[in-house]
Structure 1
Amino acid sequence: MTTTADTPPPDAGRDPMLDAVRGGVTIYDLGRPLYAGMPQSPNHPAYTHTLPRRHGDRTRPDGGSAANDLISMGTHVGTHIDALAHVSHNGRLHGGADAAEACVGGRYPEHGVHTVAPMVRRGVLLDVPAVLGVECCEAGYEITPADLDAAVRRQGVEPAPGDVILVRSGWGRHFADPDREAYIGGASGVPGVGADGARWLAGRAPHAVGADTIAFERLAPGEGHSVLPAHRVLLVESGIYLIETMDLDALARDGVHEFTFVLSPLPLVGATGSPVRPLALVAARGREVPRG
């Protein structure tokens, strides 16, 4: 989804940091809607929503009434970010921390998602289907370093250290399928990077990486989430945050490969992840995108 924000003309007394939005900015919403029954990993608690209080349950003397909500969900459901506490390998988190000892009182004080600072960084989209000449990568397709190199050459946008790199497979088109299993891809598999593609990304030293799939990972047909080498390479070995279940189609449709990326996790103290609503901001033509 995209929207355009109109901003007033500049004046001499304003902060120069506002230059990025003066003259108008197009906003690309890269998050997915949260609703009961949406496709999600079977490894996490599902999203549920109810209204414990509805209009008319209680009416104030002046005729006013209010409704409120109760939601329940895992922190890795819908569009979300993985904190460094999310994955361990051989009992170790990123930096060599003992995964068992790092959990204190049911929380991860040093590796939890509350330690992930809000992001305002240069974003780069690598549109792999455009390189392959298809609308969507095939189920179970492994996105290779050669594919990522080709995307950089085609787009003419080179990732830089500290960027947020988003890898589009086209698989996001299945998120709204009536058959929620299509997006999950348990039987068919899901396209994405494997260990080699993850190392290519880690070699560019991004702050975070994201994808339009349920996991930042190539999932083999029939194997589900049984093995997650990209998570190991990026989270454990490299300390790079993962953003999953993103909507990247509008960026690709409009040929936007470079933008200002904005994301802020919920400060869930000690949690392994957080729901997020990432945004891509594209300033008026001729404005530069700030590097993080």
Structure 2
Amino acid sequence: MTTDTTTRAGQGRDPLLEAVRGGVRVHDLGRPLYIGMPQSPNHPAYWHTLPRRHGDMVRPDGGSAANDMLVMGTHVGTHIDALAHVSHDGRLFGGADAAQAGAGGRYLEHGVHTIEPMVRRGVLLDVPAALGVDGCDPGYEITPADLERAAGRQGTEVGAGDVVLVRSGWGRLFDDPDRERYIGAASGVPGVGEAGARWLADRGVHAAGADTIAFECLPPGKGHSVLPAHRVLLVESGIYIIETLNLEEVAAAGAHEFTFVLSPLRLTGATGSPVRPLALVGRPQGEDR
């Protein structure tokens, strides 16, 4: 552990720490994990159980403890895709042989453990607001023109190294009693298409996210049959994808630019990880904390 004596003495303070002390508004972009939540049918479902409950074992002093067991896929709930998640023509990002990369049951080269924690400029592109609608229609393809329109309306330029979160409005269906509405297998799901993915890649973004389970446009009845945006971002460009984000609160607050914080679990060789991303926005001077 290192100690900065000047900071302890009150001199040379870290500007980031000073900003935090000044107060920040935290927008939680992660979805709650619960049994039966909507998710991609391609991944193992979330399951939670208590192998030990209070009273199963009581210590001599009356103390008792409960504990849990989780079973879930790494692409369930709000999660990040590692570069090992998708291959094309047998190759991963950088030309790595996909079959050889998974030898031994782990992807050591492009697994999720290789993703560094993110503290970056975040940009929300609120597409429905730019289009003047509550939410994009089922199966709607978000185009470069839509992304440009959202960025222009908000005055938030997308730059290299940014994390860009694309709101389609579909996230409003996450808690619908009919979980199939959010999954959208029959209806289709709005999202970024191949051209939109290239627009993001051309700007050198570090990661891209959305409020749906697949990030990209799913045409009605097609499901996850073809995922060109995944190919463009993960395989061709080395850009991480974050899915099933909760973007409703941050959009309602009009926070289109913020400090984005995300850290995947260090699951060695895994293709993805559940995450709980945060959008941090400075509080206006004088606002109660």
Length-normalised TM-score, structure 1: 0.93
Change (3 A) 1:147 1:105: same
Residue 3 of structure 1 corresponds to none
Residue 280 of structure 2 corresponds to 281
Structure 1: distance between partners of 2:21 and 2:203: 31
| Structure richer in helix, relative to its length | 2
Structure 2: distance between partners of 1:152 and 1:25: 24
Please list the CA deviations of residues 231-288 of structure 1 after superposition, one character each: whole Å capped at 9, or x if unmatched: 00000000000000000011110111000000000000000000000000001338xx
Residue 172 of structure 2 corresponds to 173
Residue 270 of structure 1 corresponds to 269
Offset, 1:103: 1.0
Residue 154 of structure 1 corresponds to 153
Residue 143 of structure 1 corresponds to 142
Residue 42 of structure 1 corresponds to 41
Residue pairs, 1:28-177, within 5 angstroms: 28-177=27-176
Offset, 1:52: 0.3
Query: SS state of the match for residue 281, structure 2?
Result: strand
Q: Which amino acid aligns with 1:158?
A: E
Offset, 1:222: 0.3
Query: SS state of the match for residue 100, structure 1?
Result: helix
Q: Which amino acid aligns with 2:240?
A: Y
Q: Which amino acid aligns with 1:65?
A: S
Offset, 1:23: 1.3
Please list the CA deviations of residues 38-65 of structure 1 after superposition, one character each: whole Å capped at 9, or x if unmatched: 0000000000010000000000000000
Please list the CA deviations of residues 22-81 of structure 1 after superposition, one character each: whole Å capped at 9, or x if unmatched: 211000000000000000000000000100000000000000000000110000000000
Q: Which amino acid aligns with 2:279?
A: A
Residue 188 of structure 2 corresponds to 189
Structure 2: distance between partners of 1:248 and 1:113: 23
Q: Which amino acid aligns with 1:240?
A: I
Offset, 1:17: 2.8
Q: Which amino acid aligns with 1:191?
A: P
Q: Which runs of 4+ in 1 moved over 4 A?
A: none
Residue 23 of structure 2 corresponds to 24
Residue 7 of structure 1 corresponds to none
Q: Percent identity?
A: 77
Q: Which runs of 5+ in 1 are unaligned?
A: 1-10, 287-292
Residue 4 of structure 2 corresponds to none
Structure 1: distance between partners of 2:75 and 2:121: 24
Offset, 1:13: 6.0
Length-normalised TM-score, structure 2: 0.94
Paired residues in the alignment total 277
Q: Which amino acid aligns with 2:165?
A: L
Residue 290 of structure 1 corresponds to none
Please list the CA deviations of residues 77-135 of structure 1 after superposition, one character each: whole Å capped at 9, or x if unmatched: 00000000000000000001110011121000110000000000000000000011111
Residue pairs, 1:230-241, within 5 angstroms: 230-241=229-240
Q: Which amino acid aligns with 2:131?
A: L
Q: Which amino acid aligns with 1:36?
A: I
Q: Which runs of 5+ in 2 are unaligned?
A: 1-9
Residue 228 of structure 1 corresponds to 227
